[in-house]
Chain A
């Protein structure tokens, strides 16, 4: 999973719903100060976001031509050649299918747990809330690579503290390794998502619950009918970031390659980008990247639209 950065959750601004008002003539006050504030970020954003995106697209349109088998290689414009190669690449689609299956199971489980923990923390049912909040969040301080190394040991039949379990179930086999990785990702990120949802819950003023309490509604009813609808934006947010993370899986499977031969160099889309670029076939790797970034964008955007429509009902 990539950056823990939050949200494009500001749905209202993200969606191109509100067209900017007619550009009236505005006299800009303090143009120099604005430049001082904006320019450093804008320059870096251009250099390390916009230009690389543009360059990836450009690179993906090239093909390598050789004079004979061992001749000098030159890059020439190839149009959509690489994209045709992407669409005909079986392992790439298998890897996409794999991360989608992963996401369909792992994301709901992880967010369901995060929501449950957040609601329990917010309810009067628990004692020692501080402790739980901290204990559940600690795994987030463990980098994905380190978490994967650690769990790799825990899954190994001869090193694990749970030999009774690991000698009977082979977590690193071809059948289970994807779900073994899903467990690592869940372990790291549940607490993080829990905190985002929990801070949304804290922002709800308690007066809102009073009427429900007077009507005799219990904690469960209050959670279901009042709290969850009110924190929907936070849940959508965690959903989007989980989807992005799923499609970007790299560090965990890359580490698991050292523990299990079932994880191949084409296990996830990002692993394919990496192994293709080190063959090297950078144009094909660039095309993989572009398709992947587009897929991420489309998926998280449709998730946003879908949940907004549901909410609007």
Chain B
């Protein structure tokens, strides 16, 4: 098991070493049958994973007339930009408002959540103080508490202080990431050497300044991972906005599209807007994952093997 407790830096090094060795694997040759079998499995599942998204993209490029009358998996007249234009214009651009809301809830929420979790995880890893293990165990218990179980009591509490149906009702609860504390603690323990903190102390830097100038850089992969997964959790969150928000202009995009989708029977034109809206709503997350993948894959590795 010792292999699994290495520091992330070491595991990255061994990965690199392996990639270098890859062109000439030693040992018995793999049979061509196994290669063909493996490739077949992967290609079949590639279709399974990508066809729905391909279909959504194609559907987004069609006019409502051609949506049912043409091949669902291939282009007809290319109406993508006209469709986007219509969607954005519909009801004074409420869709854009939803996208901005989602970006704000998830972007600002995840950023602050990462900061708070990173500081707490760092302190748990690098300082000794009474109650440290107790605190960590309570936070670990928090990882097991599902967010949906908290939504109803939060609603009851917020309605007593008149905070329901406000921006804060969705924003404030998303600032807590127990998982972030867990991950940053492990990562800080493995990748921020005590000697470095000592050196910063000798140079006269305060503890807080050391954290923000030195330690944060070393913890960067873990912080990006926490940010990204908190971002996704908030972006995908459904139950909390569903029970907190009545005012359409506060909706995140998931709740807005859900609301439209449940009115399709009364207002059939909404079907086209739901489809093109769904397509647009997944693009920001895909871009974010692509931009940050170098970092979060390392961070993810650290969390899962410990």
A interface, CB within 8 angstroms of B: 2-10, 13-14, 16, 20, 23, 26, 28-34, 36-38, 40-42, 44-45, 47-49, 51-53, 55-56, 59, 113, 116-117, 120, 123-127, 132, 135-146, 149-154, 158-161, 187, 190-191, 195-197, 199-200, 202-206, 208-210, 213-214, 216-220, 230-231, 233-234, 237, 240, 244, 247-248, 250-251, 254-255, 257-258, 270, 273-274, 277, 282, 285-286, 289, 292-293, 296-297, 300-301
The verdict on A146 contacting B17 (CB below 8 Å), with A124-B22, A200-B305, A258-B262 known, is: no
**How many angstroms from the CA of A149 to the CA of B139 in the assembled complex?**
34
Give the segment of B25-33, B75-83, B84-92 that binds chain A.
Answer: B25-33
Chain B's nearest CB lies how many Å from the CB of A38? 5
Chain A's nearest CB lies how many Å from the CB of B9? 11
Q: Tell me whether A286 and B182 are in contact (CB under 8 A).
A: no
Cross-interface CB contact of A149 among B26, B42, B175, B257, cutoff 8 Å: B257
**How many angstroms from the CA of A137 to the CA of B134 in the assembled complex?**
36
Closest partner residue, chain A, to B26 (CB atom):
A213
Q: Tell me whether A145 and B254 are in contact (CB under 8 A).
A: yes
Interface string of B253-295 (1 = CB under 8 A from A): 0110110011011000000001100100110011001000000
**How many angstroms from the CA of A41 to the CA of B117 in the assembled complex?**
6
Q: Tell me whether B172 and A48 are in contact (CB under 8 A).
A: yes
Q: List 27 A-B contacts (CB under 8 A).
A: A3-B146, A3-B179, A6-B229, A13-B136, A20-B134, A26-B129, A28-B128, A31-B129, A36-B207, A37-B119, A38-B120, A41-B176, A48-B172, A123-B30, A124-B25, A125-B34, A140-B232, A146-B257, A149-B258, A154-B55, A159-B67, A187-B48, A197-B304, A202-B15, A219-B34, A248-B148, A254-B238
State which size class the interface on B falls in.
35 or more
**How many angstroms from the CA of A205 to the CA of B19 in the assembled complex?**
12
Q: A-B contact count, CB below 8 Å? A: 357
**How many angstroms from the CA of A149 to the CA of B279 in the assembled complex?**
11
Q: Scan residues 1-40 of chain B and give those whose CB is less than 8 A from a CB of chain A.
A: 1, 3-4, 6, 11, 14-15, 17-18, 21-22, 25-28, 30, 34-35, 38-39
